[in-house]
Amino acid sequence: LFGYNSGTIKNIRLVDISIKGSNNIAGLAANNTGTIKSIYINGKIKGNDNVGGIVGSNFGTIESVDNKSKVTGHNYVGGIVGSKDMGMIKNSHNQGNIIGNENTGGVAGSNNDDKIENSFNTGNLKGKSNVGGVVGYNSGSIEKNYNTGKIEGGSNVGGVVGRNLGSIEKIYNNGKIHGIENNIGGVIGFNNGRMQNSFNTGEINGQNNVGGIIGFNKKIMKNSYNIGKVTGNKNIGGIFGAEVE
Protein backbone atom coordinates (compact mmCIF):
# COMPACT_ATOMS: atom_id res chain seq x y z
CA LEU A 1 0.00 0.00 0.00
CA PHE A 2 2.83 2.39 0.94
CA GLY A 3 6.41 2.15 -0.26
CA TYR A 4 7.74 4.55 2.39
CA ASN A 5 6.06 6.19 5.36
CA SER A 6 7.54 9.10 7.31
CA GLY A 7 4.24 10.56 8.52
CA THR A 8 1.30 9.08 10.43
CA ILE A 9 -0.90 6.22 9.24
CA LYS A 10 -3.81 5.14 11.43
CA ASN A 11 -7.26 3.54 11.51
CA ILE A 12 -6.93 1.30 8.44
CA ARG A 13 -8.46 -2.15 7.94
CA LEU A 14 -7.31 -4.35 5.02
CA VAL A 15 -9.00 -7.70 4.35
CA ASP A 16 -8.10 -10.55 1.96
CA ILE A 17 -4.99 -8.85 0.60
CA SER A 18 -2.45 -10.75 -1.52
CA ILE A 19 1.04 -9.28 -1.81
CA LYS A 20 4.10 -10.91 -3.39
CA GLY A 21 7.51 -9.41 -4.05
CA SER A 22 11.23 -9.56 -3.32
CA ASN A 23 12.66 -7.51 -0.41
CA ASN A 24 10.97 -5.10 2.03
CA ILE A 25 7.53 -6.59 1.50
CA ALA A 26 4.61 -5.92 3.84
CA GLY A 27 0.87 -5.60 4.11
CA LEU A 28 0.94 -1.84 4.82
CA ALA A 29 4.36 -0.17 4.36
CA ALA A 30 7.63 -1.46 2.93
CA ASN A 31 9.64 1.03 5.04
CA ASN A 32 8.53 3.06 8.05
CA THR A 33 10.23 5.97 9.84
CA GLY A 34 6.96 7.56 11.00
CA THR A 35 4.04 6.43 13.15
CA ILE A 36 1.64 3.56 12.40
CA LYS A 37 -1.33 3.02 14.71
CA SER A 38 -4.60 1.06 14.89
CA ILE A 39 -4.18 -1.18 11.81
CA TYR A 40 -5.76 -4.56 11.03
CA ILE A 41 -4.56 -6.72 8.11
CA ASN A 42 -5.75 -10.12 6.89
CA GLY A 43 -4.48 -11.98 3.81
CA LYS A 44 -1.28 -13.46 2.36
CA ILE A 45 2.14 -11.80 2.14
CA LYS A 46 5.16 -13.40 0.50
CA GLY A 47 8.69 -12.17 -0.18
CA ASN A 48 12.39 -12.85 0.34
CA ASP A 49 14.06 -10.65 2.98
CA ASN A 50 12.52 -8.10 5.40
CA VAL A 51 8.98 -9.41 5.10
CA GLY A 52 6.34 -8.33 7.62
CA GLY A 53 2.61 -8.46 8.11
CA ILE A 54 2.47 -4.68 8.68
CA VAL A 55 5.95 -3.26 7.85
CA GLY A 56 8.99 -4.69 6.05
CA SER A 57 11.75 -2.52 7.62
CA ASN A 58 10.92 -0.34 10.62
CA PHE A 59 12.71 2.69 12.11
CA GLY A 60 9.58 4.38 13.52
CA THR A 61 6.76 3.72 15.98
CA ILE A 62 4.15 0.99 15.60
CA GLU A 63 1.28 0.82 18.08
CA SER A 64 -1.96 -1.14 18.48
CA VAL A 65 -1.75 -3.11 15.23
CA ASP A 66 -3.11 -6.59 14.51
CA ASN A 67 -1.91 -8.95 11.79
CA LYS A 68 -3.88 -12.03 10.77
CA SER A 69 -2.09 -12.55 7.43
CA LYS A 70 0.03 -15.56 6.58
CA VAL A 71 3.56 -14.22 6.11
CA THR A 72 6.21 -16.18 4.18
CA GLY A 73 9.82 -15.21 3.47
CA HIS A 74 13.47 -16.20 3.72
CA ASN A 75 15.37 -13.94 6.15
CA TYR A 76 13.98 -11.38 8.62
CA VAL A 77 10.35 -12.46 8.60
CA GLY A 78 7.82 -11.30 11.19
CA GLY A 79 4.10 -11.08 11.86
CA ILE A 80 4.27 -7.32 12.49
CA VAL A 81 7.72 -6.30 11.19
CA GLY A 82 10.37 -8.13 9.20
CA SER A 83 13.36 -6.15 10.48
CA LYS A 84 13.28 -3.50 13.22
CA ASP A 85 16.55 -1.56 13.42
CA MET A 86 15.24 1.31 15.54
CA GLY A 87 11.89 2.53 16.82
CA MET A 88 9.18 1.05 19.01
CA ILE A 89 6.54 -1.66 18.74
CA LYS A 90 3.90 -1.73 21.48
CA ASN A 91 0.43 -3.08 22.22
CA SER A 92 0.42 -5.18 19.05
CA HIS A 93 -0.72 -8.70 18.17
CA ASN A 94 0.13 -11.26 15.52
CA GLN A 95 -2.25 -14.15 14.93
CA GLY A 96 -1.11 -15.11 11.43
CA ASN A 97 1.09 -18.12 10.62
CA ILE A 98 4.70 -17.20 9.84
CA ILE A 99 7.20 -19.18 7.73
CA GLY A 100 10.84 -18.18 7.23
CA ASN A 101 14.42 -19.41 7.22
CA GLU A 102 16.70 -17.26 9.40
CA ASN A 103 15.49 -14.66 11.93
CA THR A 104 11.80 -15.45 12.07
CA GLY A 105 9.51 -14.06 14.77
CA GLY A 106 5.83 -13.78 15.61
CA VAL A 107 6.12 -10.02 16.14
CA ALA A 108 9.49 -9.19 14.52
CA GLY A 109 12.13 -11.16 12.65
CA SER A 110 14.77 -9.02 14.35
CA ASN A 111 14.78 -6.29 17.01
CA ASN A 112 17.90 -4.13 17.13
CA ASP A 113 18.70 -1.24 19.46
CA ASP A 114 15.19 -0.38 20.63
CA LYS A 115 12.09 -1.76 22.34
CA ILE A 116 9.14 -4.10 21.91
CA GLU A 117 6.61 -4.04 24.74
CA ASN A 118 3.12 -5.29 25.62
CA SER A 119 2.86 -7.32 22.42
CA PHE A 120 2.12 -10.98 21.78
CA ASN A 121 1.91 -13.79 19.25
CA THR A 122 -0.77 -16.47 18.91
CA GLY A 123 0.15 -17.65 15.40
CA ASN A 124 2.22 -20.72 14.51
CA LEU A 125 5.82 -20.31 13.31
CA LYS A 126 8.21 -22.38 11.24
CA GLY A 127 11.84 -21.48 10.56
CA LYS A 128 15.38 -22.82 10.43
CA SER A 129 17.65 -20.66 12.60
CA ASN A 130 16.88 -17.92 15.17
CA VAL A 131 13.16 -18.60 15.50
CA GLY A 132 11.13 -17.03 18.32
CA GLY A 133 7.49 -16.64 19.23
CA VAL A 134 7.96 -12.89 19.61
CA VAL A 135 11.40 -12.14 18.04
CA GLY A 136 13.83 -14.28 16.06
CA TYR A 137 17.00 -12.25 16.77
CA ASN A 138 17.11 -9.66 19.56
CA SER A 139 19.80 -7.13 20.46
CA GLY A 140 17.38 -4.55 21.84
CA SER A 141 14.86 -4.54 24.70
CA ILE A 142 11.81 -6.79 25.06
CA GLU A 143 9.41 -6.29 27.97
CA LYS A 144 5.96 -7.64 28.89
CA ASN A 145 5.47 -9.84 25.81
CA TYR A 146 4.29 -13.42 25.42
CA ASN A 147 3.72 -16.29 23.00
CA THR A 148 1.02 -18.97 22.87
CA GLY A 149 1.64 -20.22 19.31
CA LYS A 150 3.41 -23.41 18.25
CA ILE A 151 7.05 -22.78 17.30
CA GLU A 152 9.05 -25.14 15.07
CA GLY A 153 12.62 -24.70 13.89
CA GLY A 154 16.14 -26.00 13.51
CA SER A 155 18.64 -24.25 15.82
CA ASN A 156 18.27 -21.34 18.28
CA VAL A 157 14.53 -21.83 18.77
CA GLY A 158 12.71 -20.18 21.67
CA GLY A 159 9.18 -19.64 22.85
CA VAL A 160 9.78 -15.90 22.96
CA VAL A 161 13.24 -15.24 21.41
CA GLY A 162 15.41 -17.46 19.23
CA ARG A 163 18.75 -15.70 19.81
CA ASN A 164 19.18 -12.97 22.43
CA LEU A 165 21.99 -10.45 22.83
CA GLY A 166 19.83 -7.77 24.45
CA SER A 167 17.61 -7.32 27.50
CA ILE A 168 14.45 -9.33 28.20
CA GLU A 169 12.08 -8.89 31.13
CA LYS A 170 8.59 -9.99 32.21
CA ILE A 171 7.87 -12.37 29.33
CA TYR A 172 6.40 -15.84 29.11
CA ASN A 173 5.63 -18.73 26.78
CA ASN A 174 2.97 -21.42 26.93
CA GLY A 175 3.17 -22.56 23.32
CA LYS A 176 4.64 -25.88 22.24
CA ILE A 177 8.27 -25.59 21.11
CA HIS A 178 9.97 -28.12 18.82
CA GLY A 179 13.50 -27.94 17.45
CA ILE A 180 15.27 -30.52 15.32
CA GLU A 181 18.81 -29.29 16.05
CA ASN A 182 20.54 -27.39 18.90
CA ASN A 183 19.69 -24.70 21.48
CA ILE A 184 15.97 -25.08 22.09
CA GLY A 185 14.37 -23.20 24.99
CA GLY A 186 10.98 -22.46 26.45
CA VAL A 187 11.78 -18.75 26.53
CA ILE A 188 15.13 -18.31 24.69
CA GLY A 189 17.01 -20.69 22.41
CA PHE A 190 20.48 -19.09 22.70
CA ASN A 191 21.13 -16.38 25.30
CA ASN A 192 24.13 -14.06 25.26
CA GLY A 193 22.27 -11.18 26.92
CA ARG A 194 20.18 -10.54 30.02
CA MET A 195 16.83 -12.09 31.02
CA GLN A 196 14.80 -11.83 34.22
CA ASN A 197 11.30 -12.27 35.67
CA SER A 198 10.11 -14.70 33.00
CA PHE A 199 8.57 -18.17 32.82
CA ASN A 200 7.55 -21.07 30.60
CA THR A 201 4.60 -23.45 30.84
CA GLY A 202 4.79 -24.93 27.34
CA GLU A 203 6.11 -28.32 26.25
CA ILE A 204 9.69 -28.25 24.90
CA ASN A 205 11.25 -30.86 22.61
CA GLY A 206 14.61 -30.76 20.86
CA GLN A 207 17.86 -32.57 20.17
CA ASN A 208 20.83 -31.00 21.98
CA ASN A 209 20.93 -28.19 24.57
CA VAL A 210 17.23 -28.20 25.45
CA GLY A 211 16.03 -26.18 28.42
CA GLY A 212 12.75 -25.21 30.02
CA ILE A 213 13.85 -21.56 30.04
CA ILE A 214 17.04 -21.33 27.93
CA GLY A 215 18.58 -23.88 25.58
CA PHE A 216 22.14 -22.53 25.74
CA ASN A 217 23.01 -19.77 28.21
CA LYS A 218 26.18 -17.62 28.19
CA LYS A 219 25.10 -14.56 30.20
CA ILE A 220 22.55 -13.51 32.86
CA MET A 221 19.25 -15.11 33.89
CA LYS A 222 17.39 -14.21 37.13
CA ASN A 223 14.03 -14.81 38.80
CA SER A 224 12.58 -17.15 36.18
CA TYR A 225 10.92 -20.57 36.31
CA ASN A 226 9.65 -23.44 34.19
CA ILE A 227 6.81 -25.92 34.74
CA GLY A 228 6.68 -27.26 31.16
CA LYS A 229 7.77 -30.75 30.10
CA VAL A 230 11.26 -30.86 28.56
CA THR A 231 12.52 -33.72 26.37
CA GLY A 232 15.54 -34.16 24.11
CA ASN A 233 18.63 -36.16 23.24
CA LYS A 234 21.64 -34.50 24.96
CA ASN A 235 22.09 -31.72 27.55
CA ILE A 236 18.53 -31.47 28.84
CA GLY A 237 17.48 -29.32 31.80
CA GLY A 238 14.42 -27.87 33.49
CA ILE A 239 15.99 -24.40 33.36
CA PHE A 240 19.12 -24.60 31.13
CA GLY A 241 20.07 -27.21 28.56
CA ALA A 242 23.69 -26.05 28.67
CA GLU A 243 25.45 -23.09 30.31
CA VAL A 244 28.87 -21.45 29.98
CA GLU A 245 29.81 -19.18 32.87
pLDDT tens by residue, 121-163: 999 999 999 999 999 999 999 999 999 999 999 999 999 999 9
Cβ–Cβ under 8 Å, residues 201 and 227: yes
73-124 pLDDT, tens digit each: 999 999 999 998 888 999 999 999 999 999 999 999 999 988 999 999 999 9
Mean pLDDT of 191-202: 97
Mean pLDDT of 44-55: 98
Q: 69 pLDDT exceeds 90?
A: yes
Mean pLDDT of 36-59: 98
Q: How far apart (Å, rounded) are the C-alpha atoms in residues 243 and 111?
A: 24
Q: How confident is residue 1, by pLDDT bands cut at 50, 70 and 90?
A: confident
- Percent of the chain scoring above 70 in pLDDT: 100
**pLDDT for 143:** 97
User: What does the chain look like in DSSP terms, one character per residue?
Assistant: -EEEE-SEEEEEEEEEEEEE-SSSEESSEEEESSEEEEEEEEEEEE-SEEEESSEEEE-SEEEEEEE-SEEE-SEEEESSEEEESSSEEES-EE-S-EE-SEEEESSEEEE-SSEEES-EE-S-EE-SEEEESSEEEESSEEES-EE-S-EEESEEEESSEEEESSEEES-EE-S-EEESSEEEESSEEEESSEEES-EE-S-EE-SEEEESSEEEE-SEEES-EE-S-EE-SEEEESSEEEE--
Q: How far apart (Å, rounded) are the C-alpha atoms in residues 20 and 40?
A: 19
Mean pLDDT of 185-214: 98
Q: How confident is residue 34, by pLDDT bands cut at 50, 70 and 90?
A: very high
Q: How far apart (Å, rounded) are the C-alpha atoms in residues 12 and 114?
A: 25
**pLDDT for 84:** 86
**pLDDT for 113:** 81
**pLDDT for 85:** 83
Q: How confident is residue 165, by pLDDT bands cut at 50, 70 and 90?
A: very high
Mean pLDDT of 218-225: 93
